[in-house]
């Protein structure tokens, strides 16, 4: 691989020490490089990964899984009656993947298949032995980050039953994670709750401008007001609950809700008003 030619094709390529939001990461001659996601397509990514450093941590089992997930092998190395796909992003590069894998197994207290995509992205396949018996990542993500000595973000799929769908599901979930991670501070995202956060990425700048002005009107100039309205919506319209989150008096929050109605004509107690307001606020976040 010729980095000079690569830099001509991707002028925004740069050397990095850790993963960066909105960037495709690869390793070459012991160094990590990042290319903005908007500058590169899936075919180019696969070509670069094929020419970049071969990760030494790929065990024989991982190689078989990668061959299946990449479409090079028709059958998976093993099957599950039910499973979940977890995409894990690591901010810092892991120098000892073997110890990392062992630590993962110890923390989750059950077997998961660990598949490295690159130095900063890992696929976990969680074998679900019993219905509703899934790993509670919310309760262990802090422990994981501390024990693994790196900041971690997760994208978790819904339970799946057909492992032969995994190649398509993994690629879709990976693209979803790479799209949403730069737009949110949340460390754990899941497939079902990603629909609404994903929608703003599908709008053009012109769409964003027109919709936000039409729906939010003069409230666009009041960041505190919009943050309050967003928080109330995220608390299912419960003003008292939102007030606790905002460290505000309930009456102050209610005053802002009333003010927002006066400015925009949107009554967030009504579902259709609430939905369009929430989407409009996401468009400006």
**What is the pLDDT at residue 198?**
86
Rg of the chain in Å (alpha carbons):
22
The residues with which 14 forms a beta bridge, in sequence order, are 34
Parent domain of 242: 203-284
Q: How confident is the model at residue 258 (pLDDT cuts 50, 70, 90)?
A: very high
The more confident residue out of 133 and 124 is: 124
Kindly state whether residues 26 and 125 are assigned to the same domain. Answer: no
Kindly state whether residues 224 and 238 are assigned to the same domain. Answer: yes
Kindly state whether residues 86 and 167 are assigned to the same domain. Answer: yes
Look up the pTM and report it. Answer: 0.70
Per-residue pLDDT at 226 exceeds 90: yes
255: domain CATH number?
A: 1.10.10.2840
The more confident residue out of 1 and 231 is: 231
**What is the pLDDT at residue 268?**
95
Q: How confident is the model at residue 242 (pLDDT cuts 50, 70, 90)?
A: very high
Per-residue pLDDT at 270 exceeds 60: yes
Q: How many domains does the chain have?
A: 3
The more confident residue out of 70 and 98 is: 70
Q: How confident is the model at residue 211 (pLDDT cuts 50, 70, 90)?
A: very high
Q: How confident is the model at residue 184 (pLDDT cuts 50, 70, 90)?
A: confident
Per-residue pLDDT at 57 exceeds 60: no
**What is the pLDDT at residue 30?**
65
Say whether 276 sits in a helix, a strand or coil: helix
Per-residue pLDDT at 90 exceeds 60: yes
Instruction: Give the pLDDT mean for 71-90.
Output: 92
Strand positions, DSSP E, the chain:
14-16, 23-28, 31-36, 83-90, 112-118, 121-127, 152-156, 188-190
Distance CA 125, CA 160 (A): 10
Kindly state whether residues 189 and 84 are assigned to the same domain. Answer: yes
Residue written as token pair 């369009």: 276
Per-residue pLDDT at 20 exceeds 60: yes
Share of the chain above pLDDT 90, in %: 50
88: domain CATH number?
A: 3.30.70
Instruction: Give the pLDDT mean for 23-35.
Output: 78
161-179, pLDDT tens digit by residue? Answer: 999 999 999 999 998 998 8
Kindly state whether residues 148 and 250 are assigned to the same domain. Answer: no
Distance CA 99, CA 193 (A): 32
Kindly state whether residues 207 and 191 are assigned to the same domain. Answer: no
**What is the pLDDT at residue 15?**
85
């Amino acid at each position: 691989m010729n980095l000079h030619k690569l830099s001509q094709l991707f002028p925004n390529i740069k050397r990095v020490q850790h993963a960066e939001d909105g960037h495709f990461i690869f390793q070459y001659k012991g160094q990590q490089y990042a290319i903005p996601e908007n500058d590169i397509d899936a075919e180019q990514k696969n070509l670069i990964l094929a020419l970049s450093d071969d990760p030494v941590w790929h065990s024989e089992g991982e190689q078989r899984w990668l061959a299946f997930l990449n479409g090079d092998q028709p059958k998976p190395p093993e099957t599950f009656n039910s499973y979940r796909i977890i995409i894990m992003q690591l901010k810092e590069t892991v120098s000892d993947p073997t110890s990392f894998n062992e630590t993962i197994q110890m923390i989750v207290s059950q077997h998961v298949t660990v598949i490295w995509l690159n130095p900063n992205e890992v696929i976990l396949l969680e074998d679900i032995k019993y219905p509703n018996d899934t790993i509670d990542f919310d309760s262990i993500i802090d422990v994981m980050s501390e024990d693994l000595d790196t900041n971690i973000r997760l994208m978790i799929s819904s339970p799946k039953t057909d492992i032969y769908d995994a190649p398509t599901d993994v690629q879709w979930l990976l693209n979803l994670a790479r799209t949403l991670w730069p737009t949110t501070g949340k460390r754990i995202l899941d497939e079902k709750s990603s629909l609404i956060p994903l929608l703003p990425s599908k709008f053009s700048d012109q769409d964003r401008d027109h919709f936000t002005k039409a729906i939010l009107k003069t409230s666009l100039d009041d960041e505190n007001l919009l943050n309050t309205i967003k928080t109330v919506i995220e608390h299912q319209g419960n003003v008292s609950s939102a007030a606790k989150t905002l460290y505000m008096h309930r009456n102050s929050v209610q005053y802002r809700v009333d003010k927002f109605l006066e400015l925009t004509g949107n009554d967030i107690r009504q579902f259709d008003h609430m939905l369009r307001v929430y989407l409009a606020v996401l468009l400006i976040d």
